[in-house]
Amino acid sequence: MIVTNSPEALRAAMVDHIKAAGHATNPTVERAMRTVPRHDFVPEASIDDAYADIAVITKSASDGSALSCASAPIIVAMMLDQLQVKPGNRILEIGAGTGYNAALLAQLTGPGGSVTTVDIDPEVTAGARRGLDATGNEHVEVITCNGSLGGPENAPYDRIIFTVGAWDLTPAFWEQLAPDGRLVVPLRWRGQTRSVAFVRDGDALVSDSMELCGFVPMIGQEGERSGAIDADGLVTLYWDGDQAIDAAKLSGVLDQPKEAVWSEVLVGPQEPFDGIWLRLTAHDSRICRISADRAAVDAGLCTPAIPARSPALAEDGSLAYLVFRKIQEGRFELGAIGNGPYGGHLAGQLCEAIEAWNQDRSAKPTVRAYLSNASTSAISFDPAMSHEVIEKTASRLVVSMC
């Protein structure tokens, strides 16, 4: 008899929950997650926490921010579905974590394949090594190195997966990914992070799926900029280095008169609307992230739809950001608040984007990634689609959408 709070019962319940949420759709992913004992990789956590749908923090910085963790199981399953591992694949994982994901990858590729996992932190790789050895995964290779360099020792790879957040993609991943290979990465642009599944197409990496996510960022990638726009430092903008956004020009903008514009688009309490932000990255170079502390929200200074992360449009000394208001029980109207000389105009444009998203809420852009030194002739544009070119340090993204 299996005790209801035994690791086996809790693991079965965990996978049942993941399946009900629409993930682990690949039977091999489901089987691996029902097999690998997650609690053996997070020995400091309780058995209940090991199988709960939460991230388990395994190393923190002095300020309390997470440096390493075991990702929430539902995110693990989602990304493994995206990776589409086949038996015999050679796999590289960037971000060793606890070793749990590498053990799942070893199950998926089987005895004919190989798994290499790398991490910059020797404490993290030592912990991953212990967990892998304790669960019979001695054949998984664990390497301590800068993840931006990949794992040249065992390249090329049929599959590459990041379990840390990346702002940029370095040449190593073009050099080490096999032709027709797949790369899954939590990639950050314009203030939001998506788990993007790329397929290699010559010198381009072309997306075929994207899912909202959040990850501990990779060390050493400092392309995102940030700046407070109020005197008390309660409201911060985040943007990319290639954007013409200057926080100094926006200082005090929230003290200026505000103008609210409403879209007549309604959502329920569980309906996601993050697609508005994603779509805007293909249409508007002014899109960024706004984050407001609770004190700013309570004072009415800045009231974004999601205080910690909402889309905003910033131009010179004007700003608009996404908001919502309750219309009736369980229904909320999306809109925008603008501040500054052109804040109302920006709010209207943000509402136009909300209305466009409402016409097809499931539509997503395509992202093509190239090395930054790729020739202009090698970059593909569809003239029937709107697109934005996002310049990073080592790579260039072309985000396209009708």
* Kind and range of the H or E run holding 241: none
- Per DSSP, the three-state class of 350 is helix
Type of residue at 349? Q
Tokens of 348: 């209207």
What type of residue is 176?
Q
Size of the chain in residues: 402
Q: Check if the beta carbon of residue 303 is closer than 8 Å to that of residue 322.
A: no
In terms of DSSP bridges, do strands 141-144 and 114-119 run parallel, antiparallel, or are they unpaired? Answer: parallel
| Beta strand extents in 40-191 (DSSP E only) | 56-60, 66-70, 90-94, 114-119, 141-144, 157-162, 177-189
Q: First-to-last CA distance in the chain? A: 56
Please say whether the beta carbons of 147 and 124 come within 8 A. Answer: no
Question: What number of other Cβ atoms are within 10 A of residue 187's Cβ?
Answer: 27
Distance set, CA 400 to CA 132, 190, 346, 368 (Å)? 41, 14, 22, 8
Hey, what are 269's tokens?
């309490």
CA dist 266 → 150, 166, 303 (Å) = 44, 33, 18
Region of residue 279 (left: phi > 0; alpha: psi -120 to 50; beta: else): alpha
Catalytic residue among 68, 148, 263, 400: 68
Sign of dihedral through CA atoms 59, 65, 68, 71? positive
Closest to 313 (Cα-Cα) out of 290, 279, 335, 295 = 290
Tokens of 340: 């500054």
Active site residue 386: no
Q: Which DSSP symbol is given to 54? A: S
Answer yes or no: are the C-beta atoms of 317 and 253 closer than 8 Å. yes
- Contact assessment for residue 174 and residue 206, using Cβ atoms and an 8 Å cutoff: no
Exposure letters 135-158 (e unless 16+ CB within 10 A, then b): bebeebbbbbeebbbbbeebbebb
- The catalytic residue positions are 68
